[in-house]
Chain A
Amino acid sequence: MKLSTLFTLVVALAVMAAPISASAAGKTLDIVKKRGHLRCQVGTPSGGFYNLDAKGNWYGLDVAVCQAVAAAIFGDKNKVEFQSVSSQARFTALANGESDLLSRTATWTMSRDTQLGLDFLTPNFYDGQGFTVLKSSGITSAFQLKGAKVCVTTGTTSELNLADFSRANNLNITAVTFEDWNVRDDTYLKGGCDAVSIDKSSLAANIISFPKPDDHMILPETISKEPLGPAVRQGDSQWANIVRWSEFAMINAEELGVTSANVDKMRASSKNVDVRRMLGVEGNLNEGLGLSKDWAYNIIKQVGNYGENYEKYIGSGKGALGIDRKGTLNELWTNGGLMYSPPMR
């Protein structure tokens, strides 16, 4: 071996051994601005929250959060690169800097918030786990499921919730875990399981896909709290603020009656100081976020307020899940729900 070859080898080794510090350095906002688009992580297509239309565009309630953040930063909701990641890799892909933001019906739990290097932000959907059974089975309450087999899907908190519920009530339920929900449903429909247990929002959508939806019913019990919301990497409060307040702007807009249709008129002529501050006519709310004055205006103009998006994707819209918002936790606080934005002032 020549001396020069040896030298090359040593240099190569030195390069490899140098600490490979990824995008952890630098602020996420600067990185996103420099890149020119947002990298937003969603899951594999699923109705209501993140789904693909015929042209291959993403839409849904969680997709709207990504679009709102892009609108706030760039003034263009389309400057988003959607990353569809499997549920096993989702938190790692966010923590290692591949995604700027995760918005994919992830349940906010303490262990995830504190141990995975993530910060969960405000939930954009409050869900809870329930059961679907056959009406002909005679079961009317989840407490009658003693010794039953229940089909669940892996990659969610539903296995753990089911085990906890079974343990707390001495029900001795056996969970049969599937990777693929098609196989899970097939097993249930052929009698391999007595019930299916997933989040209630998914149960409603699931029953519609069965051959005879009227033969099945959702049991009244909700066995878990599932606050679903976006998450960001830990340690960048400015970035967390941008995502959090993009969500709050949508909720606040609904409360103040600002919609994508009337936002131009409101900005031009509203006398309400809350509206004027939010839309950047008065005050300097944008400065703390490092965004332009019309950040919230762009969100509402392009993406719409929370209520509009709920109706479009989850409520009564065409192709939506058909879950009535009335009386649920996802109502505005003024209507008895949990959707509440701190004041924007």
Chain B
Amino acid sequence: MKPKEKFDFFHDERVRSVFYQALIAAAVGWFVWSLVSNTAQNLEARGMHTGFGFLNVAAGFDSSFKLISNEAGVGTYGRIFFIGALNTLYVSALAIILSTMLGFFIGVMRLSSNWLVSKVALAYVEIFRNTPLLIQIIFWYIGVFSLLPRVKSSIDLSGGAEVLLLNNRGLYMPWPIPGDLLWLTGVAASIAVIAVVAFRRWAKNRQDKTGQTYPTFIVSAALLILLPGVVYFMTGMPLDWDIPKLEGFNFVGGASLPPSFMALLFALTIYHASYTAEMVRAGILSVNKGQHEAAKSLGLSNNRSMSLVIIPQAMPAIIPPMISNCMTTIKNSSLAIAIGYPDLVSLFMQTSLNQAGYAIELVCMTMAFYMVVSLIISWLMNIYNKRVQLVER
């Protein structure tokens, strides 16, 4: 018979480990708390105001570029924070999408058997990956978008119609004003999307069962364009356009993107695409050469073997570095301050800090914003990553 294990509270390993973990947690908690309370106490002692009450105070200034309306002297600092956050997310989201597309393209080009194509891709990667981003941003701003013609001699991109205009103050374009019955077109578009999803699922099932393929692309495109299009024309085209017109110093009306936005978007896209290209190249090279040969021997074309065999297997190697690339894009967008794009750092940590003070609160909020966004991205990408990782057998 085995002797019954005696439970000794003070010498039990589990009790000990819990005890020391609790001790460490308490120590860390105590340290953080003492940092915070000391700061608060010392701020108090020096007569510096603290707290987040200033967020409800009207800010006396306005942002030159904003996605939501605001008025100087009415909008609060809280709203300024929101405007800055949206501006940051807007430019970084576009930059992430565009740089991923461009990066994939360059990365595949880099592996091309055509000498010229692969060397062009190599030159692209080496040039844009090996120069500082800040210099690239300033180059695009001062060297490209500032050199566009002045307002009075704008370039007409719409070929004489004078609706799409480009000058050194930005890109001016018409903006839709929805009419009464436009919601019907919206409903039709949603139905079309649902129909496309259902149709694709059906086509895939059929292919799994019978091996027969169906021209899904043409059918989905037709559904997506025709259904909402017909409804739109039947309801009498309920959409007007607000067209930019030259009034005084500037174009008024429509929508516009400032040159600083375009310069930042270009710089971020091109810079991060060079990193994406290298990740894609590394991912593709990590797939065993035999896979490509096997796909060929099945009679798949080069394009199909790439999209059906190689890329899906390369994804598990590509996604993890892509996560950090996305997060870096968002953080790098804070370099916008150099060229006057009103992102979060510029509006909140510069202008608001200068007008309202409250340095500690403002810096903490800005840091918290970048941290939360990065964590959300990393969480979402990890979900996606788990899905592509499961492909491995």
Contacts and interface: CB of A to CB of B under 8 A. Distances in A.
A209 B38 CA distance: 47
B27 interface: yes
Interface in A169-192: 174-180, 183-184, 186-187, 190-192
Interface in A41-79: none
Interface in B351-379: 351, 353-357, 359
Given A149-B249, A156-B354, A88 B340 contact: no
Contacts of A16: 30-31, 34
A175 B62 contact: yes
The secondary-structure label for the interface of chain B is: helix
Interface in B178-192: none
Nearest to B336: A179
Contacts of B45: 21, 24
Given A87-B354, A115-B49, A157-B354, A146 B42 contact: no
Interface residues of A, number: 57
B64 interface: yes
Interface in A138-171: 145-149, 151, 154-157, 159-160, 162-164, 166-167
A179 B346 contact: yes
Contacts of B176: none
29 contacts: A13-B31, A16-B34, A24-B45, A88-B353, A91-B357, A95-B48, A111-B356, A115-B48, A116-B357, A149-B250, A151-B340, A154-B346, A154-B351, A155-B354, A159-B351, A163-B61, A163-B72, A174-B64, A175-B62, A176-B340, A178-B339, A179-B350, A183-B141, A187-B340, A191-B169, A192-B259, A233-B46, A234-B46, A235-B47
Contacts of B20: 1
Nearest to B16: A1
Nearest to A180: B338
B30 A17 contact: yes
A235 B30 CA distance: 31
A174 B353 CA distance: 20
A92 interface: yes
Contacts of B169: 149, 191-192
Given A87-B354, A183-B138, A160 B340 contact: no
B46 A112 contact: no
A98 to B, nearest CB: 12
Contacts, number: 145
A117 interface: yes
B259 A160 contact: no
A180 B169 CA distance: 18
Interface string A100-131: 00000000000110011100000000000000
A184 B141 CA distance: 11
A199 interface: no
Interface string B55-80: 00000111010000000110000000
Nearest to B39: A20
Contacts of B382: none
Interface string A229-256: 0000111000000000000000000000
